[in-house]
Amino acid sequence: MLHVRGFRFAMSGDDEPTRLRALLAEQAALRRVATMVVGSTPAPALFSRVCEELGGLLAVKSTDMIRFEDERFARVVGSWAASGTPSFPVGVRVPVEGETVTAKLYRSQRPERVDDYAGVEGELALRLREFGMRSVVGAPIQMAGRLWGALMVTSELPHAFPVDTEERVGNFAELVTAALANADAREQLAASRARIVEAADAARRRIERDLHDGAQQRLVSVALSLRLLETRLGPDSAATHELAAVRAELDAALAELRELARGIHPSILTDRGLEAALEALAGRSTVPVELQLDRCRKLPLSVQTTAYFVIAEALTNASKHAHSDRVEVRVAAGEGRVTVEVRDDGSGGVDPARGSGLTGLADRVSALGGTLEIDSPVGAGTTIRARIPMVAPGEASGEPGSGVEYAPA
C-alpha cells in the first residue's frame, strides 16, 4: 500500500507502474489547478479548467460544478464534456430534489454518489438518463464554513466509479474552496479600500462646504463691511488708503481660500457633475485644453471624483513641469468602465517613482478596482490613462457577508 498526500493506492505485480502513473497524473493535475488558484485566475475560467482537469484525469464523459441557490435549485457555474457528449451548459438551473447526488449532497454536506440512476425519480434524474448518464459522484465545495456548491463527475455506465472517487473529486473541490476564499479576501480588501476612498471624499466635501458656508462667507461679509466703511470715510481720508490695502489683502485671501476649497473638493462637481467641473477646470488652465466628453453624466460620484483628480493632476503636470502648449482630455464611458485619457505635447520624462501626485492617484484608481498607465518618453509628451470600473469593488456581491457571487445570469 502506497500513501502519498492523502492518496492510497494498492500496488502489486503488474499494477504498480499503472497505479504510479495514475498518481503522478493526479498530482500534476492538482498542481496545475493549484497554480491557477494562486495566480488569481478569474472564477469562470478556473471553474471550467477544474472540470476539464478532473474529467481528463478520471476518463469520464462529463463533469460539472454547481452553486446552490437555495434548498430547491442550484446553478451550473462550470462544466466540461467530451466531444459530442450532452451536458448541462453553464448558467442552467437544476432542481435539488429526491435522491439525486445534488440533493443528497445538499442534505449531508458530504461526498455522495448514485451508482445507477435507473430507479431514481424526479426531473433531474430524468434529464440525466436522457443525457445517457447512469452514475454520478459529487463532493461539496465549502466557503466560510458553509456549503457553497459541489463538483460532480458523471459516467454513462452504472457502478462506474471505484471506492476512492469521492476522495479524488474532493481534492479538486478543496482547491475550489481555496480559490473562493482567496477571491473573497481580495474582494473584501478591494471593497474596504473603496470605502476608505469614499469616506475621504465625503470628508473633503464636508470641509469644502464648511469653508464655503463658514470662513469664506465670513470673509466676504468682512470685505463688504470694509467697502461700506471706505465710502463713509471719503476718498481723501488717510484711513481710506489703509482700508484699501487691507481690502486688497482680504480679496487675495478670499481668492486663495476659494482655490484651496476647489483643491479639496470642487463644489461644482457635486452640484453640476463631472462635465461642468472639467469645463471649469479647463477654463482655469494656463495651457489650452481640448475636452472630449462622452456619456459621463450619470457616473457614480466616486468615479467622477477620481476622474476629476486624475485630470486635475495631469493638467498641473502639463502646465508646471512639462511646459506643454496643448493638452487633450478624453473621458468615455462604456463596457462597464470609464476611460480617462490626458495627452500633452510637453517635454515628457515623467517618473512617478521620483515622487509626484501621480503616485497617490495610482493608489486612488486602484482602490476603485481600476488601473493607471503613464506613457512619458523623454521629449515626446505624456499620456496618462486611467480605466475605472463603474461599479466599485464589493457592490456586485451576491450574498450578504460573502463578498463573492459567481452564478451566471
Tell me how far apart the alpha carbons of residues 237 and 234 are, in angstroms, rounded to a whole number. 6
Residue 205 confidence (pLDDT)? 62
Q: Which three cell numbers stand for residue 264?
A: 479639496
pTM above 0.75, yes or no: no
Condensed to tens digits (0 to 9), the pLDDT of residues 348-392 reads 887 766 655 666 777 778 878 888 888 888 888 889 999 988 875
> What does 263-324 look like in DSSP terms, one character per residue?
HH--HHHHHH-HHHHHHHHHHH-SS-EEEEEES-SS--HHHHHHHHHHHHHHHHHHHHTS--
Q: What angle do CA 56, 62, 66 make, to 5 degrees?
A: 110
> Worst-scoring range by mean pLDDT, 58-72, 246-260, 276-290?
246-260
Tell me how far apart the alpha carbons of residues 354 and 131 are, in angstroms, rounded to a whole number. 63
> In this structure, which topology does domain 2-188 adopt according to CATH?
Beta-Lactamase (3.30.450)
Residue 216 confidence (pLDDT)? 67
What share of the chain has pLDDT > 70, as a percent? Answer: 72
Location of each CATH 3.30.565.10 domain in the chain:
269-409
* Residue reference for cell 475605472: 388
Condensed to tens digits (0 to 9), the pLDDT of residues 54-77 reads 888 888 888 998 999 988 999 998
* Residue reference for cell 436522457: 130
The number of CA neighbours under 13 Å toward the Cβ of 85 is: 20
Tell me how far apart the alpha carbons of residues 361 and 307 are, in angstroms, rounded to a whole number. 10
CA dihedral 161, 136, 92, 35 (to 10 degrees): -30
Q: Which contiguous run of DSSP H or E holds residue 95?
A: strand 93-95
31 vs 200, higher pLDDT: 31
Which CATH number is associated with domain 269-409?
3.30.565.10
Location of each CATH 3.30.450.40 domain in the chain:
2-188
335 vs 192, higher pLDDT: 335
Tell me how far apart the alpha carbons of residues 310 and 305 are, in angstroms, rounded to a whole number. 9
